Structure 1
Amino acid sequence: MVRLPLTPADVERGQRLGALLRRARGARSILETALDAGVSPETLRKIESGRVATPAFPTIAAIADVLGLSLDAVWAEISRAEPDAAPARSGTGAPERLAS
């Protein structure tokens, strides 16, 4: 499978995701959080550092669950619009949301 190159927006969204997860984790260790979520500590470290800008949905869902974050809160944080950009919207006129 060939992956398309990440856009600057993808990279920025990955950085926001990583920052959100780091803040939510607080003083809890990467090891403890990763094991509770069923992912490797290295995977969590890469996501938090922004090195994995587009992690798999089940991975984010598991980490968010362990950290007590709703998927709606995660989506709202990582998809917030830039000051000069319009918000992402679906064809219905409503903001796009992750299914939870």
Structure 2
Amino acid sequence: GNLINFVAEKNAELIGVISLFLIDKIPSPCEINGCWGYVTNVYVKPECRNNGVGSKLLDFVKDHSVANKCELLVVWPSERSYPFYKRAGFKSEKREKDPLVLVI
């Protein structure tokens, strides 16, 4: 696996972070270089929330995932962050307590 951290800065101050753990899939005849990503350690300073910082960080993760031929992203959201990920297109297969998945 590969852990990548993306950060957001404002006036040379760190205001947000998101981590992406890329996990290689077992090779198959269809796609040898496939992977999936686990989104974790997402944080935006409280005074900077609701201004698009988290969405921009998540966009960087999505773009990086596509560039690395990832097939999907997975996140285990907190109760507070659940709506954020749903708005970003993540879906749950069964219950709200299950991880959310975004096919990319």
The question of a shared fold, defined as TM-score above 0.5 by the shorter chain, is answered with: no
**TM-score after normalising by structure 1:** 0.33
Q: Could you say which structure has the greater relative contact order, defined with CA pairs below 8 angstroms and 6 or more residues apart?
A: 1
Structure ranking higher in helix proportion:
1
Q: TM-score scaled to structure 2, two decimals?
A: 0.32
